[in-house]
Amino acid sequence: MELGLSFSVSSSLSHYPLTSPSLYSLPTPILSSPQPLISVSPESLKPPKVAAEVILDPRGGEAWGLTLYPSQLSGPKSVQGSRMPERRSRQLGSCMSSGCLPGEQILAWAPGMRKGLEPELPGTLICTNLRVTFQPCGWQRSQETPLSSEYDFALVNVGRVEAVSGLSRIQLLRPGSLLKFIPEEILIHGRDFRLLRVGFEAGGLEPQAFQVTMAIVQARAQSRQAQQYAGITLSKAGQRSSSRKPPIPLLEILEDWETERKKQGAKGWRVSTVNERFDVATSLPRYFWVPNRTLDNEIRRAFGHFHQGRGPRLSWHHPGGSDLLRCGGFYTASDPNKEDIRTVELMLQAGHSDVVLVDTMDELPSLADVQLAHLRLRDLCLPDSSVAEDKWLSALEGTRWLDYVRSCLRKASDISVLVTSRVRSVVLQERGDRDFNGLLSSLVQLLSAPEARTLLGFQSLVQREWVAAGHPFLTRLGGTGASEEAPVFLLFLDCVWQLLQQFPAEFEFSEFFLLALQDSVRVPDTLTFLRDTPWERGKQSGQLNSYTQVYTPGYSQPSAGNSVNQKLSVWDWDLRYSNEQILQFHNPGYDPEHCPGSWLPRQQPSFMVPGPPSSVWLFSRGALTPLHQLCPWRDSPSLLAVSSRWLPRPAISSESLADQEWGLPSHWGACPLPPGLLLPGYLGPQIRLWRRCYLRGRPEVQMGLSAPTVSGLQDELSHLQELLRKWTPRISPEDHSKKRDPNTILSQSC
């Protein structure tokens, strides 16, 4: 296979070298053409013929630059060294044709050497309309896991692209920028903390290096502008029946919500259909739980007095009787009547005499703070970080990321004590109700409910509190290019990892499952993390065609060739991961005795303590403050003043709050925790860096691998001994010898 290159020189100095780089531009027809440069089929897998014109400076004959364009000359002469070996071409064709996804097209490719690893890997850098991938020589892509390769970078995962020439020339390639030189190396910084560093081969193949670099820049820009990640139909999905049942309830139908309500034992609640057509709030699910005593028309009016129409709804019913609710901020500019105020009070009280309003954002970072901390952490953890080793730990503290993890765990611990200590209604209130409300509600359930720590329970928790609740995944993960980017969900996964480290025997899933879930937010294969609201997901998947005329104009029936898969969710792990990988999702140190059926009876009058009559509290800065009304619009005579004997002392930690809530004298020592409740530590070294996640681009320093120093080996040994000490009472040798079927791991329950 030949790469046609012809040079036309506009001066008699045709031998003048390109020593003064200026502007190298790639005409848009090469990249913006609707036809792929290289087809998926092996027979058409050929590089495009290009021509190069040297542009000389008329003032001094010095070369200005090189312009590449499709060669229209008949029978161009090939440049020496530009011939691509036939064997490599056949390998590339067979590999990509077998591993390409439906609708995937190869835009450009160039042979190169992956650097930064020992040893360096020769192969080919390939850019498609969906991803950037490095194909090592002799490596065959698995057809079972087309999106699970460590060599793949989905376009949505590409954070920064840099071109390098020589030792000091580095150009950051932004959308619309022009490459000023032919690169010797390209650095692709992944949003998932990976770094792909590829050096290009010399010998006449420089135009291919230029072309694949510009193809990556333009494909990344076009994917962000179009925001067209609609989900990719994986090859294994086509082999399954159309009646395939989701691994967990997706909460898209009323029956799913009713089943979950009965499972939680929430007898005082019902499933409301008031938002079935998304005419109350498009960011809310079609169905949610409301008190039995409220009517749908009352709910519709009451929700209008909350920010974005997100009124109070049940998140979780504690087995002992407490209820955890979430809602948006009060819309203080509204003027509700007495009936609306009464409805709001009934929904917030949820049948309880004791109500605690939790200011969610108190002592938690803002969205801008989370985004800045994540960017600093990524810059620090990438292999090309310029921070010296002796200043690395102080730089890590300077990112504030671990501080924010610590704040989230502390607040979740406090709320868990509030929920479990007395029979009451605990209301999480955040202005938008779409970010930290979901984070705290999820953490509280993980700390208080052992069923949420199982593999199925955790997936159901994320689906209910994040996906169905309308967390703006696409915006927060940078898929829209808007300024509201903030990885709140990734902050939540870090908090879960911290709990997994402190309580390794309490969780059925492993660190590898959390890594797979974190990686899934950067892979555009389903709609789970690629839309901001349930309404957008339903519209994309064609579920809104039967709704009212309000939504009909925006609906378009997917064509037969559309790559959108209407039934897949992120929880269809067996369509994207091999059986061996799914086996690693299970935590070998999990204690099955902590299953939900054996930990706590549904009614606990001896454990849960009734609260004071008609009391309203505000939980802020670790202390409970009495309130004389629930609603901010005007005084509500239905609520009584709080007796002075219920006024609390300021609590400085979850432990002191637990002592206060259970009413034990201080000289009795620590408060005995109820069964199933976890209170994590969050001081100093108790909060660790998630090394396997954030240092994945630096495998030589990850925990579990060979440490480069004696002190590093000692740290690893101490870590393993600590895990062994925690797991030894839980696991018997017979448990280790049992073989687990990967097909049943995701479907079994205790």
pLDDT of residue 712: 60
pLDDT of residue 595: 56
144-168 pLDDT, tens digit each? 565 556 778 888 888 889 999 877 7
The helices-and-strands tally (H runs, E runs) of the chain is: 21, 21
Higher-pLDDT residue of 255, 39: 255
Q: What is the chain's mean pLDDT, rounded?
A: 74
Q: Is the dihedral of CA 250, 256, 259, 260 positive or negative?
A: positive
4-31 pLDDT, tens digit each? 433 333 333 333 333 333 333 333 333 3
**Residue 671 clears pLDDT 80, i.e. is over it:** no
pLDDT of residue 743: 45
**Residue 318 clears pLDDT 70, i.e. is over it:** yes
**Residue 528 clears pLDDT 70, i.e. is over it:** yes
Omega within 30 of 0 (cis) for the link into 119 = yes
Distances (CA, A) of 493 to 94, 330, 489, 490, 733: 38, 29, 6, 5, 31
- Provide mean pLDDT across the span 299-326: 96
Judge whether 66 and 182 are in contact, CB under 8 Å. yes
How are strands ordered across the β-sheet holding 623-627? 313-317, 323-327, 425-429, 354-359, 615-620, 623-627
531-565 pLDDT, tens digit each? 899 998 888 665 554 333 233 333 334 444 444 44
- Provide mean pLDDT across the span 602-610: 46
pLDDT of residue 463: 97
Kindly report the number of other CB atoms within 10 A of residue 570's CB atom. Answer: 22
Lowest mean pLDDT among 11-25, 55-69, 243-257: 11-25
pLDDT of residue 90: 53
Predicted TM-score (pTM) of this structure: 0.77
Query: Could you give phi then psi for residue 349, rounded to 5 degrees?
Result: -70, -35
Higher-pLDDT residue of 149, 305: 305
Pairing of strands 288-291, 269-272: antiparallel
pLDDT of residue 623: 87
The fraction of the chain above a pLDDT of 90, given in percent, is 41
CA distance 73 to 748: 65
Quick one: residue 614, left, alpha or beta (phi over 0 = left, psi -120 to 50 = alpha)?
left
- Provide mean pLDDT across the span 738-743: 46
Kindly report the number of other CB atoms within 10 A of residue 554's CB atom. Answer: 11
Higher-pLDDT residue of 381, 720: 381
pLDDT of residue 629: 81
**Residue 304 clears pLDDT 80, i.e. is over it:** yes
Judge whether 248 and 459 are in contact, CB under 8 Å. yes
- Secondary structure letter of residue 571 according to DSSP: T
pLDDT of residue 207: 86
CA distance 255 to 568: 19
pLDDT of residue 2: 40
The H-assigned helical ranges of 477-628 are 488-502, 511-520, 534-540, 579-583
Higher-pLDDT residue of 605, 381: 381
Residue 311 confidence class, pLDDT cut points 50, 70, 90: very high
**Residue 306 clears pLDDT 80, i.e. is over it:** yes
**Residue 437 clears pLDDT 90, i.e. is over it:** yes
CA distance 410 to 404: 10
Q: Is 304 exposed, middle or buried (0-12, 13-18, 19+ CB in 10 A)?
A: middle
Cα diameter, the chain: 99
**Residue 204 clears pLDDT 70, i.e. is over it:** no
pLDDT of residue 59: 35
pLDDT of residue 734: 47
466-509 pLDDT, tens digit each? 999 999 998 998 876 667 899 999 999 999 999 999 999 999 99
615-641 pLDDT, tens digit each? 899 998 888 889 888 887 654 433 333
pLDDT of residue 7: 37
**Residue 406 clears pLDDT 90, i.e. is over it:** yes
pLDDT of residue 6: 38
Beta bridge partners of residue 125, listed in sequence order: 110, 134
pLDDT of residue 83: 42
Query: What SS3 string covers 225-294?
Result: HHCCCCCCCCCCHHHCCCCCCCCCCCCCCHHHHHHHHHHHCCCCEEEECCCCCCCCCCCCCCCEEEECCC
The fraction of the chain above a pLDDT of 70, given in percent, is 64
- Provide mean pLDDT across the span 222-251: 62
Residue 659 confidence class, pLDDT cut points 50, 70, 90: low
The two structure tokens encoding residue 484: 């509201």
Among 445, 443, 463, 481, which Cα is nearest to 517's? 463
- Provide mean pLDDT across the span 369-384: 92
Higher-pLDDT residue of 27, 84: 84
CA distance 343 to 349: 10
Pairs from 114-119 (Cβ < 8 Å, separation ≥ 24)? 114/196, 114/197, 114/198, 114/199, 115/185, 115/197, 115/198, 115/199, 116/195, 116/197, 116/383, 116/697
CA distance 146 to 9: 45
**Residue 226 clears pLDDT 70, i.e. is over it:** no
Highest mean pLDDT among 122-136, 251-265, 522-536, 701-715: 251-265
580-593 pLDDT, tens digit each? 889 999 999 898 77
**Residue 365 clears pLDDT 80, i.e. is over it:** yes
Distances (CA, A) of 642 to 324, 354, 612: 22, 10, 8
- Provide mean pLDDT across the span 246-264: 94
Pairing of strands 195-200, 106-115: antiparallel
3-state secondary structure of 51: strand
CA distance 185 to 201: 9
CA distance 352 to 612: 10
- Provide mean pLDDT across the span 426-441: 97
pLDDT of residue 116: 76
CA distance 344 to 294: 10
Judge whether 467 and 459 are in contact, CB under 8 Å. no
DSSP for 147-215, written as a single string: T--TTEEEGGGEEEEEEEETTTEEEE--TT----S--SEEEEEETTS-EEEEEEP-SS-HHHHHHHHHH
